[in-house]
Chain A
Amino acid sequence: MIIAERKPVNEILDMVKDAKKILVLGCRGCVTVCSAGGEREVEILASLIRLGMKKQGKKIQVTEGTLVRQCDREYIDGIDQWKGKYDSIVSMACGVGVNFIANLRPTTIVYPAVNTSFFGGSAEQGVWTEQCAGCGDCVLHLTGGLCPISRCAKSLFNGPCGGSVDGRCEINPETECVWQLIHDRLGRINNQEAMNTIAPIRDWRTAGHGGPRKTLRDDLTL
């Protein structure tokens, strides 16, 4: 899922400093699962904004709402239910949600309440780790299922750099060297020879280096 983290409250208060009525809008997708922007977090942020504004002696009307998703046209339409109740939206969805509101509501002011961080999973309660960088041309079949792009600090393709020590990454000793993990895992699954395959120079256009990406499925479009 997409992992996000709420911005510091003062940064958000600064965005809405001139607003009179806002809609704090959560999303029931990824940001609910990673506890950054679901219903519960909407409640907390709305409270913090009201308290922060009150402390500054300002009045603000805060409406709370949560959509099933903010990355789908049909759900964005749901914003209509709060018509007239806001002059700007504070979106707690990932950046996709904020963009979707900006795309579909040309004159609506929308602010991001979270920092969208990475694609990851829940390693343990309250801890999320990056696992994929959305490169658009997956190589996990060559690396034992472990991603060298998102999990190697240098996104190396042909084995570890010279700084891998005791299974730890030279960039940050708290991080496991994914190439050590790939090596060990390929051994365990009897696929050691994959380590000898030289990965050719890669075409990074699929990774966004060729501009914004788009997926089109002929079997689904109407």
Chain B
Amino acid sequence: MSFTPNIQAFCCHYTSQQTIAEGKEGLKRDGMPENVTLNRLVCGGKLQVSTLLKAFEDGADGVYFVGCPPDECHNVKGSQRAAKKVAAVRQALIELSVEPERVEMFHLERGFHPEFVKAAQVMNKRITALGPCPFKGDSK
């Protein structure tokens, strides 16, 4: 049976600017997978561990964050903080014996659109291969 993963992408205002400007149709044309939902935050520094965990609770099969390059964050350390939160969730997945690759951190230049879409495609491919998240009642 074919499986379309539920992927929740979190990103900061700056990395997603161009992507958002494309609009829904534009994104589709550019190859943005439709099963990737964008959740915008003002800054990576706003990201909470609980936000990422809630995404899994709400049925995500994969979750990722896109923030600025570590040393070029618009708000200085926001994307470094986000990376720490992602790492904490990764650790939690390992403890719970769930594939840690289900959560990922991407550092991208601000407003770089093809790369932003690429990250979504990478995650889509990866999570499709992994199959449904073991946290979901409908998996084994």
**B-contacting residues of A (Cβ < 8 Å)?**
8-10, 40, 43-44, 47-48, 50-52, 54-55
Contact = CB atoms under 8 A, between A and B. Distances in A.
A40 B50 contact: yes
Interface stretch (B8-16, B18-26, B28-36, B52-60): B52-60
Contacts of B48: 40, 43
Contacts of A51: 53, 56-57, 96, 135
Contacts of B135: 51, 54-55
Interface string B91-135: 010011110000000000000000000000000000000000011
Contacts of B56: 47, 51
Given A47-B53, A51-B56, 10 more contacts: A10-B95, A10-B96, A40-B50, A44-B50, A47-B56, A48-B92, A48-B96, A51-B53, A55-B98, A55-B134
Contacts, number: 36
The 5 closest A-B pairs by CB, nearest first: A47-B53, A43-B50, A51-B135, A9-B95, A44-B50
Main secondary structure of the interface of A (DSSP, over half): helix
A33 to B, nearest CB: 18
A44 B96 contact: no
